[in-house]
Copies of this chain bind each other. A is one copy, B any other.
Amino acid sequence: MTIRSRLPALLCACALGALAPFSAQAAPDKALEARFDALIDPALMGSWLKTMSAQPIHVGAPHNKANAEMTLAQFKSWGWDAKMEVFQVLYPTPLEVKLELVTGPGAPFKATLSEPPIPGDDTSTRIKDELPAYVAFQGDGDVTAPLVYVNYGMPADYDALERLGISVKGKIAIARYGAGWRGLKPKLAQEHGAVGAIIYSDPRDDGYSTDDVYPRGAARPPGGFQRGSVADMTTFPGDPTTPGYGSTKDAKRVSRQDAETILKIPTLPISYGDAQVLLKALTGPVAPAAWRGGLPITYHVGGGDDAKVHLKVLSDWSLKPAWNVIATLKGRERPDEWVMRGNHRDGWVFGASDPLSGHVAMMNEAKALGALAKAGWKPKRTIVYTSWDAEEPMLLGSTEWAETHAAELKKKAVIYINSDSNGRGFLGVGGSHAYQHFVNQVSADVTDPQTGVSVRDRLRAALAVQGVEQPANPRATALGRIAADPSLDLPIDALGSGSDYSSFLQHLGLAAINLGFGGEGESGGVYHSAYDTYEHHSRFVDPGHAYAGALAKVAGRMVMRLADAETPQQRYGDFAATVAGYLTEVKALADNRRDEAMARTRLLAAGAYRLADDPTVSRGDPPPLAPSPKLDFAAMDAGLARLEVAAASFDMALASKGANLTPAQKSRLDAAILPLEQRLLREKGLPFRPWYKNMIYAPGRFTGYGAKTLPGIREAIEERRFDDATTYIALTALAITDYATGLDAATAVINGG
A298 and B611 in contact, given A461-B606, A464-B603 (Cβ under 8 angstroms): no
Cβ contact of A294, chosen from B296, B484, B600, B609, cutoff 8 A: B296
What is the minimal beta-carbon distance from A419 to any residue of chain B, in angstroms? 22
A144 CB-CB contact with B under 8 Å: no
Contacts of A603 in B (CB 8 A): 461, 464-465, 468
B468 touches A596 (CB 8 A): yes
CA of A8 to CA of B292 in the docked complex: distance in angstroms? 20
Indicate if A369 sits at the interface (CB-CB under 8 A). Answer: no
Are A608 and B461 also in contact (CB < 8 A) when A212-B286, A468-B600, A520-B616 are?
yes
Taking A297-B208, A465-B608 as contacts, is the C-beta distance between A615 and B213 under 8 angstroms? no
The answer to whether A203 and B465 touch (CB under 8 A), given A286-B217, A616-B520, is no
- Pick the contact of A298 from B219, B295, B464, B465 — CB < 8 Å? B219
Residue of B nearest to A425 (CB): B614
Taking CB atoms and an 8 Å cut-off, the chain A residues in 199-246 that contact chain B are 203, 208-213, 217, 219
Q: B residues within 8 A CB of A626?
A: none
Instruction: Note all chain B residues with C-beta closer than 8 A to A450.
Output: 615
A602 CB-CB contact with B under 8 Å: yes
Please tell me the number of chain A residues within 8 Å of chain B, measured between CB atoms. Answer: 51
Q: Which residues of B contact A453 (CB under 8 A)?
A: 611
Chain A, range 604-619, C-beta contacts under 8 Å to B: 606-612, 614-616
Expressed in whole angstroms, the Cα–Cα distance for A223 and B292 within the complex equals: 22
Are A484's CB and B611's CB within 8 A? no
CB contacts under 8 Å to B, within A3-33, are: 6, 8
What is the CA–CA distance of A295 and B208 in the complex, to the nearest angstrom? 10
Q: Which residue of B lies closest to A473 (CB)?
A: B472
* A213 and B298 form a contact (CB under 8 A): yes
- Tell me, yes or no, whether A703 is within 8 Å of chain B by CB: no
Given B298, B460, B610, which contacts A211 in the complex, CB threshold below 8 Å?
Answer: B298
CA distance A295 to B296 in the complex (A): 6
* A606 nearest in chain B by CB position: B461
CB-CB nearest in chain B for A609: B465
Name the B residues within 8 Å of A468 (CB-CB): 596, 599-600, 603
Quick check: B213 and A464 within 8 Å, CB to CB? no
Interface residues of A in 466-489 (CB under 8 A from B): 466, 468, 471, 484
A451 contact from B203, B425, B596, B615, Cβ within 8 A: B615
Cβ-defined contact, B286 with A461, below 8 A: no
Check A140 for interface membership: any CB of B closer than 8 A.
no
| Per-position 1/0 for A432-470, Cβ under 8 A of B | 000000000000000000110100011011101110100
With A208-B298, A298-B219 as contacts: A466 and B616 at CB distance below 8 Å: no
CB neighbours (8 Å) of A458 from chain B are 611-612
| Chain A positions 405-427 with a Cβ under 8 Å from a chain B Cβ | 425
* Residue from B425, B451, B608 in contact with A464 in the complex, judged by beta carbons closer than 8 Å: B608
**In the complex, how many angstroms separate the beta carbon of A251 from the nearest chain B beta carbon?**
48
Known: A520-B616, A612-B461. A602 touches B484 (CB 8 A): yes
A294-B296, A465-B603, A465-B609 are known; give 14 further A-B pairs, CB within 8 A. A203-B296, A208-B297, A211-B286, A211-B298, A217-B298, A295-B296, A451-B611, A453-B611, A457-B611, A458-B611, A461-B607, A461-B609, A464-B608, A520-B616
Q: What 4 A-B pairs are tightest by C-beta distance, nearest first?
A: A461-B611, A461-B608, A462-B612, A465-B612
